[in-house]
Structure 1
Amino acid sequence: MDDKVDWSQLPIELWPKIGKYLDNHIDVLRFRSVCESFRSSIPPSLPNSPSFPLQIPHPIHTSLNTHLTQSTIYLIEPTGASSTSNLASLAPSSSSKGWLIKVQESKNQPLSLLSPISDRKLSYPQSNNNTAFKLWNLLDYRVVEICKSYTNEMITRFASSVRKVVFYPNSPWTNVEDCVSFCIFQEGKLGFMKHGDQNWKLVDDKNFYYDDVIVFKGQFYVTDKWGTISWIDVCSLKLIQFSPPLCGLGNKKHLVESCGSLYVVDRYYESSENMRRNNVGRHRDREAVVECFKVYKLDEEWGKWVDVKSLRDRAFILSNSCNFSVSAEDLIGYKGNCIYFRDTFDIRMYNLDDHRISMVDFILPLT
């Protein structure tokens, strides 16, 4: 078991077959970076695979150009080869934990580094010789794609009309004609668009109270403000009820996939003197609006909701453009059984153990 395997001795006919099983862009890039033979065995992607930013019409002002941009959240884990790198020096030398980074991709501009929670664009760190850029060799790290997120960007006052966008499927081997997108408008309406459409189509004109939409096990799911999850039939644009109503009394429902299960995070906004005293990071000279959270897991077999008291080692991240779950044991700066989110002021952490909110001081070592 200690013998090293010389992968270059694999039969040449196996390389293209292995490459076709790589369903995200970073894995294809790393595969093609191994050697010239690997690089020539598979193309970087299909010629007509999705390329971002995608130009799409605005849902209301159709004469305005809008663009769907893509960002990807990666887990960067150190290896023996990375122990002497600049990035590894940001953590204790004995640490085997990794970092979360969020990268916004564009075919016309350099990659942008974003906060995984707030989506705020981060400045490139200064290197030791005070140059503007720092070089990372990703072949020296384990790079795992966590999820993708999509933003409908337009530099006008109308850009806030779309709250959440999901896009599927999206892989190097997917034709752009096969991809579809759903969005949640700010007012709670559900929109749909596929390749070639000239505008968003309104889905379910009887319910304008949708809170979140997600891709779960290759299907689109949406939840309304009552916590009722529905599966979206892309062909007929009909919604099929997937869960009973949650009947949670929170102000907003967030959908999160974690370890193959679907969760709803019910978000409350409370204002009271007791909550003000028990939480930090708020100004005492104004009315405190404090966020609280309850977590529910959908038992698909029995079709009922389970009140989750502990996430154990998992941490839930509720960002502006996507929600996801990570193992806190694998990451620097994250704690298990906590929910990370952005409020009006900054990034904060809600601890499900003691129900306290605290400011986040250390999430991304590059900030």
Structure 2
Amino acid sequence: MDEKVDWSQLPIDLWPKIGKSLDNHIDVLRFRSVCESFRSSIPHSLPNSPSFPLQLTHPINNRVIPTFLNLATIYLIKPTHESSSTNLSSSSSKGWLIKVEESNNHPLRSLLGPISDRKLLYPLSNNASLMLLNLLNYRVIELCKSYSCRGRRTRCFSCKVRKVVFYPNSPWINVKDCVAFCIFQKGRIGFIKHGAKNWKLVDHKNFNYDDVIVFKGQFYVTDKCGTISRFDVCSLKLIQFSPPLCGFGHKKDLVESCGSLYVVDRYYESSDESSEDFGRDEVVECFKVYKLDEECGKWVDVKNLRDRTFILSNTCNFSVSAEELIGYQGNCIYFKDTFDVRMYNLEDHRIVTVDFHPSIDKSLWSNAPCVRM
């Protein structure tokens, strides 16, 4: 097992099969970076269409405003053995979370905080020169993708869309075969296929949907009662997937963790739900977490997430092991509210404000203010 293997001696017909089995953009880039033979065996791929076209209608003159889905990917960057002796990382095997905005013309446009969505500033000094961070010296793991509506003169209109998910998002799938599914600000849900002129509402009766997620290759939504439904793209219908949760929180968030589906019930200090933008600037009081037991068809009250960390952002929710991260604690929920980035501890039920991301700026980017992937 300790014998080194010369991968270049693999049969040539295996290389494209291995390359095509990689299902995200960063793995394709790393595969193509191995050698010239690997690079020529599969075509160059781009992140699956950040320019997926959408339509927003002006509320006064009904003019259609061109918009598009802006793609961002959240990565876990961990030092390898080769980089542990350099100044770019500590001896710890833990890593950092970063959010990378991408586009067709600029594979790496800007780096964002994964929760706050703030741009990460590079600590350049007056005498600093351009430096590159070689990602071949780091393990780069794609955790999830997020999409937001962007476009010219659409700032006041894109807020109508609360959250967007996109599937399939493999670099080998043609964007014309993909579907965007969204939740509007007022709790309505809709979808749009590539080339369609407008969003199509799915449920004309229920305007109380809180969150949407792609889980096991399907679209799932939850309403304010915690009832999860699966959207069937073929029949364009919602199929009830879970019993009602009957949680009394003000907002339900969907999170996938270790192959299971969770609902995080968010409680606000204020109970005034008359505003259309309820929850945007509300102060969070506490959370309750429930796991869906798919076999028994019931909800399980979760008191301890153990080493898992739940991260709730405006555009996506995900979980990760705290043992792999610098600056994060297990059994905690990280989120953003009026006080910026906050942490809720499920053990003692305390909420504290956290300061992100000085650890990233100092330890990862101190000698590499510019990154090229």
State the TM-score, normalizing by the size of structure 2.
0.88
How is 1:88-127 mapped onto 2 (pairs within 5 angstroms)? 88=89, 93-109=90-106, 110-126=108-124
- The answer for the alignment partner of 1:141 in structure 2 is 138
Q: Could you tell me how far apart the structure 2 residues matched to 1:5 and 1:127 are?
A: 43
Whether 1:360 aligns to 2:354 is: yes
- Does residue 254 of the first structure (1) align with residue 248 of the second (2)? no
Q: Give the letter aligned to residue 6 of structure 2.
A: D
CA distance, structure 2, for counterparts of residue 15 and residue 290 of structure 1 = 51
Post-superposition offset of 1:87? 3.4
- State the secondary structure of the residue aligned to 2:136: helix
Q: Counterpart of 1:342 in structure 2: which amino acid?
A: K
Q: 1:67-86 counterparts in 2 under 5 A?
A: 67-85=68-86
Structure number with greater CO (CA < 8 Å, separation at least 6) is: 2
Structure 1 runs of 4+ off > 3 angstroms? 59-62, 84-87
Residue aligned with 1:31, SS: helix
What pairs with 1:1-367 in structure 2 (closer than 5 Å)? 1-45=1-45, 50-58=48-56, 62-85=63-86, 87-88=88-89, 93-109=90-106, 110-126=108-124, 129-131=127-129, 133-154=130-151, 155-270=154-269, 289-363=283-357, 365-367=359-361
> 2:92 & 2:147 partners in 1: Cα distance?
32
User: What is the rounded CA distance, in whole Å, between the counterparts of 2:306 and 2:36 in structure 1?
Assistant: 44
CA distance in 2: counterparts of 1:25 and 1:179, whole angstroms: 16
**2:246 alignment partner AA:** C
Cα separation, 1, equivalents of 2:200 and 2:131: 44
Q: Distance in 2 between matches of 1:30 and 1:102?
A: 18
| Counterparts in 2 of 1:62 and 1:315: CA distance versus 1, 3 Å | farther
Q: Deviation string for 1:75-103 (max 9, x for gaps)?
A: 10101222244531xxxx33110111110
Deviation at 1:123, TM superposition (A): 2.2
In structure 1, C-alpha distance between the alignment counterparts of 2:50 and 2:285, rounded to whole Å: 35
Cα deviation digits, residues 177-222 of structure 1 (max 9, x gap): 1100100000000010001100000111000000000000000000
Distance (Å, rounded) in 2 between the aligned partners of 1:218 and 1:45: 21
Alignment-mate amino acid for residue 254 of structure 2: L
Q: In 2 relative to 1, CA 187–138 (structure 1 residues): closer, same or farther, beyond 3 Å? A: same
Counterpart residue number, 1:281: none
Which residue pairs with 2:370 in the alignment?
Answer: none
The whole-number CA distance in structure 2 between the counterparts of 1:167 and 1:52 is 10
Q: How many residues align?
A: 345
> Taking structure 1 as reference, are residues 41 and 258 closer, same or farther at Cα in structure 2, changes over 3 Å only?
same
Structure-2 separation of matches of 1:192 and 1:364: 38
Unpaired runs of at least 5, structure 1: 273-287
What is the CA distance between 1:62 and its match in structure 2?
Answer: 4.8
Query: How far apart, in 2, do the equivalents of 1:85 and 1:197 lie?
Result: 51
Task: State the one-letter code of the partner of 1:58.
Answer: L
The aligned amino acid for 1:211 is: D
CA-based RMSD of the aligned residues comes to: 1.9
3-state SS in 2 of match to 1:263: strand
| Paired residue secondary structure (1:366) | helix
TM-score, with structure 1 as normaliser: 0.90
Shift, 1:55, TM fit: 3.0
Gaps of 5+ in 2: 272-281, 362-373
CA contact (8 A) 2:75 2:97 kept: yes
